[in-house]
Amino acid sequence: MEYSIRNCEIGDLPKLVILCQKHAEFEKADFSPEGKQEKLKEAIFSKKPKLFCLVVAVKETIVGYVSYTFDYSTWDAATFMYMDCLFLEEEARSFGIGEVLIEKLKEIGTKNNCLNIQWQTPEFNTRAIKFYNRIGAKGKDKVRFTLSL
């Protein structure tokens, strides 16, 4: 499969919202697309971005994305990259694209003096867990909580 990986562009936002919805459905999570395009535009394209995003394109069609932020660890007293989402359409899986995306994140993290990359995935996502183990990532048993405001 021929594809390219590039920074998300404003014109990609409608498709990015669709991919976010598909990702949420896969993870059995609630998702409403209402207002997401404008909020993502503000988060990704402001002068001080809160979120960074790479997209995977096959010709002109976006088939996947990875989004990330930078955060600071009290325990490590260092900056780390947090991979918020990595999602590929079904037809784009099993071509090594996920590994290429992780390599791109490693390059970006290194350039930004990050100690590591952290992320999470649901326990039922065994395919992703096998992939993450294969590339050398180490899992930690934790329970993630969400407190609505």
The two three-digit tokens of residue 44, written as one number: 């990704």
What pLDDT shows up at residue 22?
A: 97
Query: pLDDT tens track of the chain, all 149 residues?
Result: 899 999 999 999 999 999 999 999 999 999 999 999 999 999 999 999 999 999 999 998 999 999 999 999 999 999 999 999 999 999 999 999 999 999 999 999 999 999 999 999 888 888 888 989 888 888 888 777 776 78
Q: How far, in Å, CA of 86 to CA of 65, rounded?
A: 6
Closest to 117 measured CA to CA, from 74, 67, 48 = 67
Closest to 54 measured CA to CA, from 81, 33, 27, 32 = 81
What pLDDT shows up at residue 129?
A: 85
What pLDDT shows up at residue 147?
A: 65
pLDDT in tens, 96-138: 999 999 999 999 999 999 999 999 988 888 888 898 988 888 8
H/E element holding 62? strand 61-73
Exposed e or buried b for every residue in 101-129, given b needs 16+ CB within 10 A? bbeebeebbeeeebeebebebeeeeeebe
In contact, 69 and 51? CB cutoff 8 Å: yes
